[in-house]
């Protein structure tokens, strides 16, 4: 049996990518729960707001970076930063597509 363990860097990337997506979903749940999720995304696309909303949802990554820094988890901090940069690339593409 193989012991599989994610490194702190990979945990950081997961946090950096999944935390904004979780915040995006929570924003939907608290403000637009009466709409189906696909309709919510279509509404954002029609208003050219997807990249703007995703930009706002990356703000909690600052908290994740601070927590990693507080506990001296440099690899995790690099991963969160890498995940945030990955989200920035996605947001740039969405900005020019939508």
C-alpha dihedral sign at 84, 76, 14, 25:
negative
For 86-95, the pLDDT digits (tens) are 988 988 887 7
pLDDT of residue 94: 78
Query: Whole-model pTM?
Result: 0.82
pLDDT digits (tens, 9 = 90+) for 55-65: 889 899 999 99
52 CB neighbour count, 10 Å cutoff: 14
- Helices 60-70 and 8-31: angle between axes, nearest 10 degrees: 150
- Alpha helices for 7-73 (secondary structure H): 8-31, 37-46, 50-57, 60-70
């Amino acid at each position: 049996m193989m012991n599989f363990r994610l490194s702190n860097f990979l945990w950081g990337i997961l946090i950096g990518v999944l935390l904004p997506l979780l915040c995006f979903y929570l924003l939907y749940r608290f403000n637009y729960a009466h709409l189906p999720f696909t309709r919510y995304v279509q509404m954002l696309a029609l208003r050219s707001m997807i990249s703007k909303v995703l930009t706002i949802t990356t703000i909690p990554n600052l908290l994740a970076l601070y927590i990693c820094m507080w506990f001296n988890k440099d690899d995790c901090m690099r991963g969160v930063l890498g995940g945030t940069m990955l989200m920035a690339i996605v947001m740039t593409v969405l900005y020019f597509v939508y």
